[in-house]
Chains A and B, each alone.
Chain A
């Protein structure tokens, strides 16, 4: 009979596997027949879909085999498990290498994955994140655009009024407040914003009115943490809190109108205290102020950012006029890009994730190699199973089962390692990895998936390969492992490539970081201590200036203080203030340039060399009003040819350039030294924020205690806040140092795992070749000759690994170094060192076994034949 239509096969298989035998024929046959009938009457596709659904619907409990019948196979399955465990126990060293290596790999991978996903899902807490933008400004200058992210108080409302596409807009300002409690001032972060904040971001209230989080001018919203800290309970609504706001120079009383629900740690905004901008007494002064910018303006819009940006020039013109339109534009930064711009670097997380996968791959390769290597020892078992009637599929199942047992044990062990090491890991690298970010089912599901993937990945090749062994070959002892050996060698080379990559990258990254922290910054960083001292931190600013001046003079009296200076900013946390400036005789557009204030002693204290002209003269009224010092970069920007008699103009003010200082690195070496204007202000001005002391470093403890005591007598609302310059410099490279630390640790682990695998493999190779070696020895081969025989392969592998690995490293490192303006090149010495390190490690790993094998008495292995 001609049958044009065939139903799909798998539902039939499914049914015959799971349906009771006495009904299977009826159901399957009926379905089959109905399929043909329906295909003829109703069309193929309808027949097919009915066939599919009716097959599934036929799997009802009454039709199924009882569990007992189904588990006819558990006996053979139990046998697989038994054999798997026996095998693990018989070959203890192999098992240890497998399980321990895989567990370490899994542990490292999970640790990295937790960290990486925490970074990669940063700010994903905000449901509207695709529609949130940070509105900012860009100055168009002759050398390109300069972005600054602070905007003006009226910006948010103006954007919302002007563009109907913008659904919500909110201004936000981060600063510090002091909570006044029992005559003490406790420092806390605070955000000034308004109710729209809650329409943009996904923060919710645990207590309070979600429709109107801020009730009135006296409202304050606190985080759960703050509520617990100050009121010992989470529902703090209605409680009052007294705040001193240093920048506003006021003390105000607020009533808690809402408590924030707990939010995940991987969000950029971590609000602790929030009040409304409009609550501030100074608000009316800024409500329509388009000159002082300090707010961050967020908008939420489902419209396209480009289309909005294209309309912004008109708004700029409406606010400031036609001239400004030419040199200023508004832009929208997608919130997704916020992390990379302000917080950290998602690319590093991605790199680490790849490293984690690499380490896992090394461990998996170990397992694959060792399993196939065992093949020769187990070939008799396989042959016997085949003779007794095992199908190939059964043998594959057996090996996959064994692999799953190993991956199950290793994954669990790996997770235990993660749980145990996580606190130390967090502490050591100053991280905040938390498993509580993930719901339990993702962890359980992820674990099962990992077990399955690892088991299949590491078990599939051995299963496929070992089960295909031909019975006759086994029994005739004709088995050759040539094919598996070449694959094994390939896998070992992959391991070596990963090792080469990790070791040399680590060394090269180390080079760059060493270079940055060793490089002469252009100022003294030793014996320099900075104290954060701002007159704004005093409840009375005038009084503050006087007291700080007294403090400074007292310090100056101390024998251990060699020099002392005041300044607005210090290197490592340099000025972010800009002004427009042009050379006196220049008709072009003014340049936008940073400026800061120092006192007359600043350059001397920091050992910054004055290249030409003079430094500032203390107490010189003229210096304070119309003198400026430039750095070399500024000289260049102004295109001044000679050092003397230069004049610059800010607005209509003419200012004399009294001197030039050498460029010093006031910021991390990631960025180029930028042009800076340095003005002079004496201690009588409120602009200064730092006191810098050159201090005798010996026997520091009592000195610091003395200074702290002096500070505490001043009556500042700020605690004694000091740091040493070399620490500050180190802190600038904190994230790079951390990255280096992580990658160093991971490369060490990867080497250990790779060596472990290599050790196992050598063990196997030598076991297999010891008869050959013995015969060679009997025939007169030297020990060195035998060793050369063993080492030849490894030398070849290392060589190949370098040929493949080095270009990868160069590509990666060049990419990584892009983010640094001052960089070291790729040093070949690092590759040399990598080579040496690997050669030594591999020789040690392989060497012990080889030397033992080469020195053994040949009789030992020859006598039993």
Chain B
């Protein structure tokens, strides 16, 4: 598979894989928990749109809730293709990682 994934795209894709079903604010919370950094919602939305376009995630509308001011959420799920893309990337990276001569950085 030949898909370019940005770092943020990859992280969010992994979050989607962890959470199974999730949406914007939830991703922001998870991101903050895992990485200890805050992230803005428009940034997440852009990434989600991009992932969806690449076929790595799918989405459907959820039910409106009061804490959302009566707005519905869009729930995202990673597709198989998404899972494969993340996994391939991970594997390739581990293989490459093994090639780094450890001695150089032993100090």
Query: A residues bordering B, Cβ < 8 Å?
Result: 1, 3, 7, 12, 23, 25-34, 36-37, 50, 53-54, 57-58, 60, 62-63
Contacts and interface: CB of A to CB of B under 8 A. Distances in A.
A61 to B, nearest CB: 11
Contact of A30 (B46, B64, B66, B73): B73
Interface stretch (B1-9, B23-31, B78-86, B98-106): B23-31
A60 B42 contact: yes
Given A28-B71, A34-B24, 4 more contacts: A26-B72, A27-B41, A28-B69, A29-B73
Contacts of A63: 45
Residue picked from B24, B71, B72, most chain A C-beta under 10 Å = B71
Contacts of B66: 1, 3
Nearest to B72: A25
Nearest to A51: B41
8 contacts: A26-B45, A28-B69, A29-B71, A33-B67, A34-B25, A34-B28, A50-B40, A53-B40
Given A54-B41, A60-B42, A62-B49, A30 B67 contact: no
Contacts of B23: 26, 30
B107 interface: no
A1 B68 CA distance: 12
Contacts of A27: 41-42, 45
Nearest to A1: B66
B96 interface: no
B27 to A, nearest CB: 9
Interface of A is mostly: helix
Nearest to A50: B40
Interface string B45-56: 110010000000
A123 B71 CA distance: 59
B74 interface: yes
Interface of B is mostly: helix
B61 interface: yes
Residue picked from B42, B46, B66, most chain A C-beta under 10 Å = B42
Contact of B29 (A26, A37, A60, A62): A37
A30 B41 contact: yes
Given A1-B66, A33-B68, A26 B74 contact: yes
Contacts of A31: 41
A32 B40 contact: no
A30 B25 contact: yes
Contacts of B72: 25-26, 29
B71 to A, nearest CB: 3
Contacts of B45: 23, 26-27, 30, 58, 63
Interface of B: 23-25, 28-29, 40-42, 45-46, 49, 61, 64, 66-69, 71-74
A63 B24 CA distance: 15
Nearest to B76: A26
B41 A32 contact: no
Contacts of B64: 25, 29
A757 B68 CA distance: 55
A25 B74 CA distance: 8
B89 to A, nearest CB: 25
B25 A57 contact: no
B44 to A, nearest CB: 8
B49 A12 contact: no
Contacts of B61: 25
A34 B64 CA distance: 15
Contacts of A26: 23-24, 45, 71-74
A34 B41 contact: yes
Given A26-B45, A50-B40, A58-B42, A12 B73 contact: no
A54 B69 contact: no
A32 B42 contact: no
A32 B29 contact: no
A12 B69 contact: yes
Contacts of A34: 24-25, 28, 41
Contacts of A33: 24-25, 67-68, 73
Nearest to B32: A41
Given A30-B23, A54-B41, A36 B67 contact: yes
Given A26-B24, A26-B73, A54-B40, A32 B49 contact: no
Contact of B67 (A12, A25, A32): A32
Nearest to A16: B71
A53 B42 CA distance: 10
Contacts of B69: 7, 12, 28-29, 32
A53 B40 CA distance: 9
Given A34-B25, A62-B49, A57 B68 contact: no
B67 to A, nearest CB: 6
Contacts of A58: 41-42, 45
A572 to B, nearest CB: 75
A29 B68 contact: yes
Nearest to B48: A26
Residue picked from A23, A25, A37, A53, most chain B C-beta under 10 Å = A25
B25 A37 contact: yes
A789 B27 CA distance: 78
Contacts of A29: 64, 68-69, 71-73
Nearest to A34: B25
Contacts of A53: 40
Nearest to B69: A32
A184 to B, nearest CB: 76
A63 B41 CA distance: 13
Contacts of A7: 69
Nearest to A42: B38
A579 to B, nearest CB: 81
Contacts of A1: 66-67
B53 to A, nearest CB: 11
A57 B40 contact: yes
B42 A54 contact: yes
Contacts of A36: 67
A855 B7 CA distance: 90
Contacts of A12: 69
Nearest to B24: A30
Residue picked from A29, A54, A60, most chain B C-beta under 10 Å = A29
A34 B29 CA distance: 9
Contacts of A62: 46, 49
A16 to B, nearest CB: 9
A6 to B, nearest CB: 9
Leading 5 A-B pairs by shortest Cβ distance: A29-B71, A30-B24, A29-B68, A32-B69, A26-B74
B32 to A, nearest CB: 9
A62 B71 CA distance: 20
